[in-house]
């Protein structure tokens, strides 16, 4: 007999009222605000091409936009940094020697295995 | 076209659902998922205004926020791993050592 | 060539320099700093003589030397010098007596092998500098500061032998009793500043001149008529004078101050520090002369003190105690003179008393050296054959003290009593009461003085030490001879009775004080003030008549002492007075009374004040801190450590902020 997962309800849901209150406030503000006339895009405007041109500071896009080259380069750097950070956080060390998340392509494991083979042969 | 207030309301609703998740969730991974929701709500806002003003800035910007969200999740998962190693539990309410 | 006045600050600074030298390097100097002190006071004496000569040629100096608070429109606080005839005379007195005391100390302290001499000579140097600074002060605040310094030096020197029990207690008593009077003095100084905006003694903007103008104009102060207010302020300042000059009721410290070394007693408690109070009244006489009530109180206090102290001196056993009560009594005469309008008479008595009392104390010091520091007169006797120089100089001083013609004390004391008599008969009966008390005191003065002389020097020696006394050297005898000559002759500067009898002009001191460039400080001007504002008029009595009366009483007292004590083996005749003797011996129980006041009245008040301070003032401060601590211990519980709680707080804060901005910015309008 299995039990289905139950939705946990209880007093721990009380802080969620803050989120509801925030939604009410934001909704009120939005509904009372007035916006200017919508411009919208032309029917056959090349939007994706314009996004690409805008991203590399090339002014050839039909739809207007700002230049994002610097942001592009920075995001590149951020992603690399995030990758390195993730790997670093995931390493596990025991007595100074890395035990999990090896980054040498399996060389260490192969050497360890070879060592144990040699000793076994030596014993025999 | 659709009046922009609906898009904004949608974004606000998604944001507040994500906020609700942050305020009530105990599992760290679900906490991270709620953060992702909030980021996406911001993206909806950006794209809505891009369509309203006829300017691709909003859409380009939202691409960058997506990349940023990915980076942030990578690091966040790493942090949860370390949290688990130290507290044996992904429950955010057990990791309450820095208190009065 | 620069005038004497340009070098005048050096008069004060030279002894101060000797203080510093003794303090810093006294233990390396051969006599512990004595020669430095002697050189400094000799230098000050030379400069004072030069200033005296310059002033006698008619010049006066009243300059501000250093402004330490430049108040602009409001009060300015400064140091300055005022060198007029009165100050020049006092400078000479202080420097001369200080020099002789320094020389005497070589014999009293150095030759007796005392330890801690650098401290002693440093104290003497600082005292001399402070007293000289007080004498030349040109404003009341500077005078107050040096007044206090002089009291401090008195404390340091009385408590010189601090390892015994008596001296430190006596030093504390001296300091506390004079400090009690000085508290009123300080309030008086502040009142002068508040009333006149200045505390200058002389010059056009000085407070006596301003007071006279205010009295003419009738300006009221704080709701009081001007004369009433000036009386109040004058009485406040009198508090300090009564304390410092050891008048009743603040006289109790002076007999105890005899615990200090005898040269200190000669310098401080005979000739100079106790003179500071009387000098202050004389300096401010233009202010006191405006208020007959203040003058009357001064005269009464002086006369009463003169009598009471003379009675207490009659029954004492120790030679220095007799001299201490004699000092109190003689300063009572000076206060009587000032209160009775006899400015010249009181100043004259100040001059003569400084010399003969210093002489008597130094003579007592010589006797004490000879008796190996035993002061009880009943152990002495027959010393006149063994110590002739000491005996004759002591006799000269005693004749001056008792007021026997032609020694100095006769002329000055007689003139004080004469002024009290004529102004009393002229319409102020209070002064007659003072005169009567002073006259009775003359009898007692003659009696106790000669009792002291006969017990110490005449008769048969009453103990082994008296039979074979310790010898004294030139450094003790020299000052005694100088002062002995002065005690005999200085009275000739103002022989008023002889002038009246013969018509020869002999009142030099009167002339010295009567004229001067600063007209507001002359005795002529004071006479006018006394006539116009205090309504003192002089009756017509010949001064030689009054002089003959006081001389007769003095001789009667001396004669009584001669009959009772000038025998080879005198009895303790004072025992026959019975209960009166007990009363006089215990100083009318004034010491016990003051201790009772302190314990029963002041102590409970201070306990209440302490409770207020601890409870209310400290309580408020502690309360503030405990509020902060309590608030902190409660508010820190917000930090639960659970991240979601922080997120809740963030969200609530954001919502509240948005609502506020919306309401203010009109988003919901």
Predicted ipTM of the assembly: 0.92
Nearest-neighbour CA in chain B from A104: distance (Å):
20
User: Structure tokens of C108?
Assistant: 């009293």
**pLDDT (0 to 100) of residue A124:** 59
Q: Could you tell me if C115 and C163 are in contact, meaning their C-beta atoms sit under 8 angstroms apart?
A: no
Is the pLDDT at C669 greater than 70, yes or no?
no
Q: If you search the block for the tokens 């190693």, which residue do you land on?
A: B85
Contact C642 B23 (CB under 8 A): no
Q: If you search the block for the tokens 């300042």, which residue do you land on?
A: C237
Average the pLDDT over A5-17 and give the result.
83
**pLDDT (0 to 100) of residue B15:** 97
pLDDT tens digit string along C344-393? Answer: 999 999 999 999 999 999 999 999 988 888 888 888 888 888 888 899 99
pLDDT tens digit string along B22-41? Answer: 999 889 999 999 999 999 99
Q: What chain C residue is nearest to B91 in terms of C-alpha separation?
A: C642
Chain C positions in Cβ-Cβ contact with residue B92 (cut-off 8 Å): 642-644
Q: Could you tell me if B7 and B44 are in contact, meaning their C-beta atoms sit under 8 angstroms apart?
A: yes
Q: Does C655 touch chain B (CB under 8 A)?
A: no
> C residues 85-144 near B, CB within 8 Å?
none
Contact C644 B99 (CB under 8 A): no
**pLDDT (0 to 100) of residue B17:** 96
Whether residue C406 has a cis bond before it, omega within 30° of 0: yes
List the single residue in B23, B93, B98 with the smallest CB-CB distance to C651.
B23
Average the pLDDT over A13-30 and give the result.
92
Contact B61 A68 (CB under 8 A): yes
Contact B97 C642 (CB under 8 A): no
Chain C positions in Cβ-Cβ contact with residue B96 (cut-off 8 Å): 640-642
**pLDDT (0 to 100) of residue C459:** 85
Contact B22 C639 (CB under 8 A): no
pLDDT tens digit string along C604-634? Answer: 999 999 999 999 989 999 999 999 999 999 9
Nearest-neighbour CA in chain C from B27: distance (Å):
11
User: Structure tokens of C398?
Assistant: 């005693």
Contact C644 B19 (CB under 8 A): no
State the angle between helix axes of C292-314 and C429-457 in degrees (0 to 180), rounded to the nearest 10. Answer: 30
List the single residue in C644, C655, C668 with the smallest CB-CB distance to A22.
C655
> C residues 149-188 near B, CB within 8 Å?
none
**pLDDT (0 to 100) of residue C198:** 85
Give the residue with greater pLDDT, C79 vs C570: C79
pLDDT tens digit string along A74-117? Answer: 999 999 999 999 988 888 777 666 666 667 777 877 888 888 88
Is the pLDDT at C500 greater than 70, yes or no?
yes
**pLDDT (0 to 100) of residue C1:** 44
Q: Does C635 touch chain B (CB under 8 A)?
A: no
Is the pLDDT at C450 greater than 50, yes or no?
yes
**pLDDT (0 to 100) of residue C474:** 85
Contact A21 C655 (CB under 8 A): yes
Q: What chain C residue is nearest to B35 in terms of C-alpha separation?
A: C647
List the single residue in B13, B61, B78 with the smallest CB-CB distance to A89.
B78
Report pTM. Answer: 0.75
List the single residue in B5, B67, B85 with the smallest CB-CB distance to A30.
B5
Is the pLDDT at C16 greater than 80, yes or no?
yes
pLDDT tens digit string along C316-347? Answer: 889 999 999 999 999 999 999 999 988 899 99
pLDDT tens digit string along C271-287? Answer: 788 899 999 999 999 88
pLDDT level of residue C2 (50, 70, 90 thresholds):
low
H or E element, residue C68: strand C61-69
Residue A92 DSSP class: E
Give the residue with greater pLDDT, C518 vs C11: C11
User: Structure tokens of A49?
Assistant: 């091409």
Contact B97 C641 (CB under 8 A): yes
Chain A positions in Cβ-Cβ contact with residue C659 (cut-off 8 Å): 25
What does the buried/exposed string (b/e) look like for B4-34 if buried means 16 or more CB atoms within 10 Å of the residue's CB? bbebbbebbebbbbbbbbbbbbbebeebbeb
Summary mean pLDDT of chain C: 88
Q: What chain B residue is nearest to A55 in terms of C-alpha separation?
A: B60
What does the buried/exposed string (b/e) look like for A23-52 if buried means 16 or more CB atoms within 10 Å of the residue's CB? bebbbebbeeeeeeeeeebeeeeebeebbe
């Amino acid at each position: 007999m299995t039990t289905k997962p139950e939705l946990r309800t209880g007093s721990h849901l009380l802080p969620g009222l803050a989120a509801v209150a925030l939604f009410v406030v934001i909704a009120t503000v939005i509904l009372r605000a007035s916006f200017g006339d919508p411009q919208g895009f032309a029917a056959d405007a090349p939007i994706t091409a314009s996004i690409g041109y805008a991203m590399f500071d090339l002014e050839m896009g039909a739809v207007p936009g700002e230049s994002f080259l610097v942001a592009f380069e920075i995001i590149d750097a951020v992603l690399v940094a995030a990758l390195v950070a993730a790997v670093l956080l995931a390493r596990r060390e025991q007595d100074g020697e890395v035990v999990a998340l090896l980054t040498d392509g399996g060389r260490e494991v192969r050497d360890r295995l070879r060592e144990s083979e040699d000793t076994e042969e030596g014993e025999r | 076209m659709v009046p922009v207030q609906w898009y904004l309301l949608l974004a606000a609703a998604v944001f507040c659902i994500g906020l609700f998740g942050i305020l009530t969730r105990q599992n760290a991974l679900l906490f991270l998922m709620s953060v992702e929701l909030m980021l996406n709500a911001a993206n909806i806002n950006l794209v809505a205004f891009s369509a309203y003003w006829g300017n691709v800035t909003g859409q380009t910007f939202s691409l960058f926020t997506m990349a940023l969200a990915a980076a942030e999740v990578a690091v966040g998962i790493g942090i949860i791993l370390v949290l688990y190693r130290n507290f044996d539990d992904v429950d955010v309410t057990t990791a309450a050592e820095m208190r009065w | 060539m620069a005038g004497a006045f340009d070098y005048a600050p050096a008069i004060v600074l030279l002894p101060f320099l000797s203080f510093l030298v003794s303090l810093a390097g006294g233990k390396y100097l051969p006599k512990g700093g004595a020669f430095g002190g002697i050189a400094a006071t000799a230098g000050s004496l030379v400069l004072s003589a030069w200033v005296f000569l310059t002033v006698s040629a008619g010049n006066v100096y009243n300059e501000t030397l250093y402004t330490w608070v430049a108040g602009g429109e409001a009060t300015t606080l400064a140091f300055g010098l005022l060198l007029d005839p009165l100050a020049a005379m006092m400078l000479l007195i202080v420097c001369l007596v200080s020099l002789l005391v320094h020389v005497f100390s070589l014999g009293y302290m150095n030759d007796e092998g005392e330890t801690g001499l650098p401290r002693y000579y440093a104290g003497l140097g600082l005292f001399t500098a402070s007293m000289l600074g007080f004498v030349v002060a040109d404003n009341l605040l500077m005078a107050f500061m040096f007044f206090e310094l002089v009291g401090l030096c008195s404390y340091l020197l009385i408590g010189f032998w601090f390892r015994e029990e008596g001296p430190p207690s006596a030093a504390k008593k001296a300091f506390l009793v004079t400090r009690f009077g000085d508290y009123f003095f300080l309030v008086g100084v502040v009142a002068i500043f508040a009333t006149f905006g200045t505390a200058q003694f002389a010059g056009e903007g000085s407070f006596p001149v301003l007071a006279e103008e205010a009295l003419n104009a009738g300006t009221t102060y704080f709701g009081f008529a001007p004369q009433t207010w000036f009386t109040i302020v004058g009485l406040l300042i009198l508090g300090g004078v009564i304390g410092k000059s050891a008048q009743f009721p603040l006289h109790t410290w002076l007999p105890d101050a005899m615990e200090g070394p005898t040269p200190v007693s000669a310098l401080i408690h005979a000739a100079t520090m106790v003179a500071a109070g009387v000098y202050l009244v004389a300096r401010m006489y233009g202010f006191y002369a405006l208020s007959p009530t203040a003058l009357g109180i001064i005269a009464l206090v002086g006369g009463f003190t003169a009598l009471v102290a003379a009675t207490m001196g009659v029954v004492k056993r120790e030679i220095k105690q007799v001299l201490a009560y004699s000092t109190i009594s003689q300063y009572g005469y000076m206060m009587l003179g000032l209160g009775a309008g006899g400015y010249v008479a009181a100043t004259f008595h100040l001059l003569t008393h400084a010399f003969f009392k210093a002489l008597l104390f130094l003579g007592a010091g010589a006797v004490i050296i000879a008796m190996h520091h035993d002061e009880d007169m009943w152990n002495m006797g027959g010393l006149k054959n063994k110590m002739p120089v000491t005996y004759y100089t002591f006799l000269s001083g005693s004749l001056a003290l008792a007021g026997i013609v032609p020694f100095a004390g006769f002329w000055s004391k007689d003139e004080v009593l004469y002024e009290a008599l004529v102004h009393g008969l002229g319409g102020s009966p209070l002064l007659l009461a003072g005169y009567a008390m002073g006259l009775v005191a003359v009898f007692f003065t003659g009696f106790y003085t000669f009792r002291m002389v006969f017990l110490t020097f005449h008769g048969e020696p009453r103990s082994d030490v008296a039979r074979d006394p310790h010898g004294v050297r030139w450094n003790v005898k020299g000052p005694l001879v100088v002062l002995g000559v002065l005690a005999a002759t200085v009275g000739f500067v103002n022989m008023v009775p002889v002038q009246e009898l013969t018509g020869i002009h002999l009142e030099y001191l009167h002339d010295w004080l009567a004229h001067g460039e600063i007209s507001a400080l002359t005795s002529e001007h004071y006479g006018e003030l006394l006539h116009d504002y205090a309504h003192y008029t002089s009756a017509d009595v010949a001064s030689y008549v009054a002089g003959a009366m006081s001389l007769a009483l003095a001789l009667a007292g001396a004669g009584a002492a001669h009959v009772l004590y000038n025998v080879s083996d005198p009895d303790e005749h004072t025992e026959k007075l019975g209960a009166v003797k007990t009363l006089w011996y215990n100083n009318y129980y004034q010491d016990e009374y003051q201790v009772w006041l302190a314990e029963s009245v002041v102590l409970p008040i201070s306990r209440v004040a302490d409770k207020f301070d601890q409870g209310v003032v400290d309580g408020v401060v502690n309360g503030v801190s405990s509020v902060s601590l309590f608030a902190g211990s409660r508010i820190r519980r917000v930090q639960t450590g659970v991240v979601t709680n922080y997120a809740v707080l963030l969200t609530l804060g954001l919502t509240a902020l948005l609502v506020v901005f919306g309401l203010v910015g009109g988003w919901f309008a």
